[in-house]
Amino acid sequence: MTAATNRRVLLRARPVGEPKATDFEIVDAPMPTPGEGEILCRTLWLSLDPYMRGRMSERKSYTASVELGQPMVGGTVSEVTTSRHPDFATGDIVLGYGGWQTYHVARAGGTPGPFGPLKLDPKVAPVSTALGVLGMPGMTAYVGLLDLGQPKAGETVVVSAAAGAVGSIVGQLAKIKGCRAVGVAGSQSKCDYVVTELGFDACVSYRSPDLATALKDTCPRGIDVYFDNVGGDVLRAVLGLVNPFARIPLCGLISQYNATEMPPGPNLAPFLFNRITLRGFIVSDHVDRLPSFLADMAGWVRGGRIKYREDVVEGLDQAPRAFIGLLRGENFGKMLVKMG
Amino acid sequence: MTAATNRRVLLRARPVGEPKATDFEIVDAPMPTPGEGEILCRTLWLSLDPYMRGRMSERKSYTASVELGQPMVGGTVSEVTTSRHPDFATGDIVLGYGGWQTYHVARAGGTPGPFGPLKLDPKVAPVSTALGVLGMPGMTAYVGLLDLGQPKAGETVVVSAAAGAVGSIVGQLAKIKGCRAVGVAGSQSKCDYVVTELGFDACVSYRSPDLATALKDTCPRGIDVYFDNVGGDVLRAVLGLVNPFARIPLCGLISQYNATEMPPGPNLAPFLFNRITLRGFIVSDHVDRLPSFLADMAGWVRGGRIKYREDVVEGLDQAPRAFIGLLRGENFGKMLVKMG
């Protein structure tokens, strides 16, 4: 890449099953030029998130697919290199939605959502956190657990993908609310981290030979809130242990994102007998909660009550491999690409 | 049966699959005797409801199973033949939970729930309605649609088992709220009734060769509320047509009540993408809504805005056959046994 080009990762082919390296193409494109009211941004950090798998597919989802030949989408933290908007200056750090590329142009002004463009103050927190604990994943945990899960002190909260960007925050929020927090994760080292570093009460591996028994042992008073990031077998095991009036915020279904045929869901009898509320949600529907989230979460992070971990790969060229690994559960904490 | 005996239908065997006549046993037992504070009731009407299938099973449900050798449970409207409680007199008509038998003793006083014991005024409405439109099924429709479904004027409400005791009320309530009401029922005659007599906008048979297309044609603006009594294929078809933020009050799963193995549920992707809220509920959790329900529903029935239909068999001996038919969808309206 020279200074005059913009390196981009394009969607070359729609994946069948697990994405392959050849589903992506890395190209050097001409530099974009900002128009009036726009800013040119050089990406410092690119966020990799499971929802991006849906964008690669033509299957119906909540937003449009990435077109073939277009860059992959994604949240970014960038430095402004050229500004044609009075509110932004060269050198400003901004949260945006620049996608998998080194440069992008953003229209400034308007009301910033969870994806900006929003000016960041590097003195408040490391700017990468705007893509994690203080960004979309953190707000997903906040809205999903607190608003939809409605945990009450003394209740048991279970969260899957517990060492991930969202799950790790969910369990810590549950502890702040006085709940028992139990994680489900993919390895013993993740479980150890979640308990020892993050303060969860327990964590079980979804690879346990008998997940239902392992969960039962760690949830002696049943399960009141299950924050679901994965669907599949973990959800089935949880449904055997839920208490009456349990709440299930449904945040993700990563167990099926690479599936070529949609697998069946769990039998619904427990939903009826236990009067369960299951609620699918997407954080961008809850932008009104952004100020509360930022105030609360920044305070908890500063006070050491919420910890976070970043899993960083270096260089845009690594993004496809890191993303494929993310879908396999190989990441450990918030997956980020640090740009060159 | 002589005047001195109490005819009862006992649970003889736990059904495997569809209940058989031999799973029940009809016996003549000694007359029960009321103690201090109790009333002896002679049943006039016995309610037959799908939930009773769950009581015949040992499978986990929200209440205890009927013990083998014990009478089947059920809501009843009875005449007091002996009273040992000052608030009740011989000849009073009471709503209760007497079960499948000609006589039962009830403890009077205390706070009556949706199952009483509650004195009925025959001048207000035919007393059988206390088991239907003005009773548990009507209140199930009221709470499930209005409180949990939250229908807004102009939205589309779909209800399964639309000619049944609950579904028929749900669609009429949807019309009162200014919604488009679409039923799903098991025969053309039921569909005709639901549209012509009850005023639903449309009704499709779940036996349609292509249910999804039939539903799509009758729900041109998608589905905002699905009041589910059945689960299974109807739910799957609905999930392909729901609008964002759809609500699904889950009231019953009659499609699987006779199943010997629990069938899988629908794939959960639409719940996530469309931010669906699914909420299992049981009317007895909502007793606080009884006064509002009775006031509203009695007014609507008196004013002709809510119509109802009863499917009556005569004599307790017919109860097993009628109940087996109910699970097959052979009833047409609220299923009742008129006692001899």
pLDDT in tens, B89-146: 999 999 999 999 999 999 886 655 555 588 999 998 999 999 999 999 999 999 999 9
Residues A57 and A141 grouped into a single domain: no
For the segment B111-120, what is each residue's pLDDT rounded down to a tens digit? 555 555 889 9
* B63 touching A (Cβ < 8 Å): no
Q: Which residue has the higher pLDDT, A118 or A113?
A: A118
Do both A40 and A124 map to the same domain?
yes
- Residue A63's closest chain B neighbor by CA? B273
Percent above pLDDT 90 for chain B? 92
Task: Look at B271 and A285 and tell me if their CB atoms are within 8 Å.
Answer: no
B201 & B72 share domain:
no
A190 and A96, same domain (yes or no): no
Question: Are A110 and A126 in the same domain?
Answer: yes
Residue A147 sits in the same domain as residue A278: yes
Which residues in chain B touch residue A285, judged by CB atoms under 8 angstroms apart? 275
**Domain presence at residue B188:** yes
Provide mean pLDDT across the span B212-228: 98
CATH number, position A35 = 3.90.180.10
**Looking at residue B223, which CATH number applies to its domain?**
3.40.50.720
Interface check A340 vs B, CB under 8 A: no
Cβ–Cβ < 8 Å for B169, B190: no
Co-location of B27 and B155 in the same domain: no
Question: To probe the interface with A, which of B241, B272, B275, B284 has the most A CB atoms within 10 Å?
Answer: B272
Beta bridge partners of A338: A45, A314
Place of tokens 């014990």: B70
> Does B29 fall in a domain?
yes
Predicted pLDDT of residue B108: 82
Q: Per-residue pLDDT averaged across A200-223, rounded?
A: 96
Q: Is the pLDDT of residue A66 over 70?
A: yes
Measure in Å the smallest separation between the Cα of A253 and chain B Cα atoms. Answer: 7
Q: Is A273 on the interface with B (CB under 8 A)?
A: yes
Q: What is the ipTM of this complex?
A: 0.93
Q: pLDDT at position A113, please? A: 52
pLDDT per position as a tens digit, B318-335: 999 999 999 999 999 999
Which residue is it, tokens 């006692």?
Answer: B339
Written in H, E and C, the secondary structure of chain B is CCCCEEEEEEECCCCCCCCCHHHEEEEEEECCCCCCCEEEEEEEEEECCCCHHHHCCCCCCCCCCCCCCCECCCCEEEEEEEECCCCCCCCCEEEECCCCECEEEEECCCCCECCECEEECCCCCCHHHHHCCCCHHHHHHHHHHHHHHCCCCCCEEEEECCCCCCHHHHHHHHHHCCCEEEEEECCHHHHHHHHHCCCCCEEEECCCCCHHHHHHHHCCCCEEEEEECCCHHHHHHHHCCEEEEEEEEECCCHHHCCCCCCCCECCCHHHHHCCCEEEECCHHHHHHHHHHHHHHHHHHHHCCCCCCCEEEEECHHHHHHHHHHHHCCCCCCEEEEECC
Residues B104 and B55 both lie in one domain? yes
Least-confidence region, from A112-126, A253-267, A295-309: A112-126
**A295 assigned to some structural domain:** no
pLDDT at A61: 65
* Mean pLDDT score, B12-25: 96
Size of interface A-B (CB pairs under 8 A): 102
Q: What is the per-residue pLDDT for B116? A: 59
Cα of A6 to nearest chain B Cα, Å: 33
Residue A1, pLDDT score: 42
Chosen for mutation from A267, A283, A285 (greatest number of chain B CBs closer than 10 Å) is: A267
- Asked whether residue B240 falls in the same domain as residue B317, the answer is no
Identify whether B303 is part of a domain. no
Q: Which residue of A has its CA nearest to B253?
A: A269
pLDDT of residue B111: 58
Give A59's pLDDT tier (boundaries 50, 70, 90): confident
Is A110's pLDDT higher than 80?
no
Whether A212 is in a domain gets the answer: yes
Confidence of residue B1 (pLDDT cuts 50, 70, 90): very low
Across B21-50, average pLDDT:
96
Q: Write down the pLDDT at residue B58.
A: 85
Considering the domain boundaries, does residue A179 fall inside one?
A: yes
Average pLDDT over residues B305-329: 97
Instruction: Indicate yes or no: CB of A265 within 8 angstroms of CB of B262.
Output: no
Model confidence pLDDT, tens digit, residues A137-193:
999 999 999 999 999 999 999 999 999 999 999 999 999 999 999 999 999 999 999
- Based on the fold, state whether residues A191 and A321 are members of the same structural domain: no
Q: Which domain holds residue B257?
A: 136-284
Q: Which residues pair with A203 in a beta bridge?
A: A183
Using a CB–CB cutoff of 8 Å, tell me whether B267 touches chain A: yes
Residue A319 in this model has a pLDDT that exceeds 80:
yes
Domain match, A212 and A316 both = no
Mean pLDDT, range B43-50, rounded to an integer: 97
In a domain, A294, yes or no: no
Query: Over pLDDT 70: what percentage of chain B?
Result: 96
Predicted model pTM: 0.94
Number of domains in chain A: 2
Q: Are residues A115 and A181 in the same domain?
A: no
What pLDDT is attached to residue B113? 52
User: Is A296 among the domain residues?
Assistant: no
